[in-house]
Structure 1
Amino acid sequence: MSELGHEFESDILTEDHIEIREPKAYHVVLYNDHYTTMDFVVYVLETIFHHPQAVAEKIMLDVHKKGKGVAGTYTRDIAETKALQTRNLAQEHHFPLKCVAEPA
């Protein structure tokens, strides 16, 4: 017993291997519709996703020709936030642009 009347046992736990994983990636995907203008899609890609004009136009053409395009790839929280910002901006401008965060 110690001076204060308490006994202490010392069990030291050690980790031989700690696995650190990268967070899962999510794509922010824009889907084509018949009402949202190409100019607005480019505006969204430049404003929310900070793409230069040439990149924004390429993604917009993917959306237009292939039915969907990846605006960017991020961690889940950021992807969901950017998708929400995109939907809100589209709604403010009266466009039905569909934008979702999907696992990469």
Structure 2
Amino acid sequence: MTDSPTLLDDAPEIERGTITEPKVEKPRLYKVILLNDDYTPRDFVTMVLCAVFRIPTDTAHRLMMTAHRMGSCVVTVATREIAEEKAKEGTDLAKSEGFPLMFTTEPEE
């Protein structure tokens, strides 16, 4: 054998018996918020909630009434991409039927 340098000569030493797991950061979550308006029929709001967010009718009705009384309510919490997609889908569905119903998103605290 020769005493010539090898690739392993410059490699950092690895401590045996320890495995370092990479830290995976959880994605930030966003709220999808239903905004109340005085023009969109309640039944239509309930239908949009059921269709876009796949929630049962009684839950959708409860959310709609909360937004009606309070001015807005959180419909769901999801990753940013999904929250923005659902908010746009709900707003676009209402707009296609001529209603001003709106959904927005904001970071969850």
TM-score, reference length from structure 1: 0.84
Query: Which of residues 29, 32, 39 in structure 2 aligns to 1:28?
Result: 32
CA RMSD of aligned residues (A): 2.0
Question: Unpaired segments of 5 or more residues in structure 1?
Answer: none
Range with greater deviation from structure 2 (59-68 or 21-30): 21-30
TM-aligned CA deviation for residue 70 of structure 1:
1.2
- How far the C-alpha of 1:11 sits from its partner, in A, is 2.8
From 88, 94, 99, give the equivalent of 1:95.
99
- Unpaired segments of 5 or more residues in structure 2? none
Q: State the percentage of identical aligned residues.
A: 34
1:20 Cα offset (Å): 2.5
Count, aligned residues: 100
Q: Which has the larger radius of gyration?
A: 2
> 2:58 is matched with which residue?
54
TM-score (norm 2): 0.81
Deviation, structure 1 residue 21: 2.6
The range that moved more, 45-54 or 15-24, is 15-24
2:76 to 72, 81, 97: 72
